[in-house]
């Protein structure tokens, strides 16, 4: 293991990786709980508060960042703040949250839909999912971070939604939820084994809705260990 060859701590040691794995497991259990909890008529704030309650009840030290729970047109803001908006049938709901365990952050995002999805919503969701899976597929030690971003962006651009993918594909995670490396068009870093990185492409159509899907993957020589195991097929609540 070339754990001393980099000038910073993008590469995590086994203890740090175990903490991240635990944080992700809490995230998965929280998401599973939410799938039974979220109902039409609830507000975004109510759901965000439930995420906080559940993660703390599982032993999280705190939240890794302010939970994003945005619905309907609010979901087209990638860093939206939960509001009093009430969840209605047909709304996309984007849930982006993480626990801190033993000092290390989790970070995951899933987008689900209430009641039913239009064919356009399904189409956009599946473009994002295709981009996310393609990007995950490229992640491996020795691959350029920019190449991972390219893999996601190519799929979204080819589908005609390039202008709506308004952020990078991912970032490193550790004690801070946003650490090096960055995975975007301009990234110059090369992935190495035992870097935890997020893969989180999205499409945000102003005034309509947004979709983002995010996993937290540990880079290895052969690919990834994905620490997030929540389902990614479109969930219709
Ligand atoms: Mn993230």
Question: Which pair of tokens denotes residue 123?
Answer: 């189409």
Percent of the chain with pLDDT over 90: 97
Q: How many angstroms does the Cα of residue 155 sit away from the middle of ligand 1?
A: 20
Please tell me the distance from the alpha carbon of residue 70 to that of residue 76, in angstroms, as a whole number. 8
Per-residue confidence (pLDDT) for residue 72, from 0 to 100: 98
| Cα 39 to averaged position of ligand 1 atoms, centre (Å) | 25
DSSP H helices, 38-144, are 44-57, 119-138
Round to whole Å and give the CA distance between 109 and 93.
10
pLDDT at position 2 over 60:
no
Output the CA torsion 111→179→13→95 (10° steps): -10
- Name the one residue in this structure whose structure tokens are 């390219």: 150
* Ligand 1 geometric centre to CA of 6 (Å): 23
The pLDDT-based confidence of 5 (bands split at 50, 70, 90) is: very low
Could you tell me the two tokens for 129?
């999912």
How far is ligand 1, taken at its centre, from the CA of residue 198, in Å? 6
Task: Quote the CA–CA distance of 39 and 144 in Å, as a whole number.
Answer: 42
DSSP-assigned letters across all residues of 179-200: EEEEESTT---B--TT-EEEE-
- The residue extents of the domains of the chain are 14-223
129: left (phi over 0), alpha (psi -120 to 50) or beta: alpha
**pLDDT-derived band at 8, boundaries 50, 70, 90:** low
CA–CA dist 105, 64 (Å, integer): 5
For position 26, what pLDDT does the model report?
A: 98
pLDDT of residue 6: 44
Query: Cα of 178 to ligand 1 centre, how many Å?
Result: 7
Q: What is the mean pLDDT of residues 34-47?
A: 98
What mean pLDDT is reported for the chain? Answer: 96
* Residue range 14-223 in CATH 3.90.230.10: yes
Express each pLDDT in 126-179 by its tens digit. Answer: 999 999 999 999 999 999 999 999 999 999 999 999 999 999 999 999 999 999
């Amino acid at each position: 293991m070339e754990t001393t060859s980099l000038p910073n701590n993008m590469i995590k040691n086994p203890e740090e990786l175990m903490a991240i794995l635990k944080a992700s497991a809490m995230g998965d259990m929280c998401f599973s709980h939410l799938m039974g909890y979220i109902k039409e008529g609830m507000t975004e704030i109510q759901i965000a508060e439930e995420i906080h309650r559940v993660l703390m009840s599982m032993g999280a030290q705190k939240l890794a960042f302010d939970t994003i729970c945005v619905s309907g047109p609010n979901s087209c803001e990638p860093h939206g703040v939960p509001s009093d908006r009430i969840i209605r049938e047909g709304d996309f709901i984007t849930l982006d949250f993480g626990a801190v365990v033993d000092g290390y952050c989790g970070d995951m995002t899933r987008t689900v839909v209430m009641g039913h999805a239009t064919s356009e919503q399904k189409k956009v969701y599946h473009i994002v999912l295709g981009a996310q899976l393609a990007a995950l597929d490229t992640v491996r030690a020795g691959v350029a971070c920019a190449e991972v971003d390219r893999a996601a962006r190519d799929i979204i651009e080819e589908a005609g939604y390039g202008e709506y993918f308004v952020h990078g594909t991912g970032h490193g995670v550790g004690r801070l939820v946003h650490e090096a490396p960055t995975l975007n068009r301009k990234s110059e870093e090369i992935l190495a084994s035992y870097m935890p990185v997020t893969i989180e492409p999205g499409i945000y159509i102003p005034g309509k809705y947004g979709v983002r899907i995010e996993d937290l993957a540990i880079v290895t020589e052969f690919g990834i260990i994905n620490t997030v195991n929540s389902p990614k097929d479109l969930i219709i609540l």
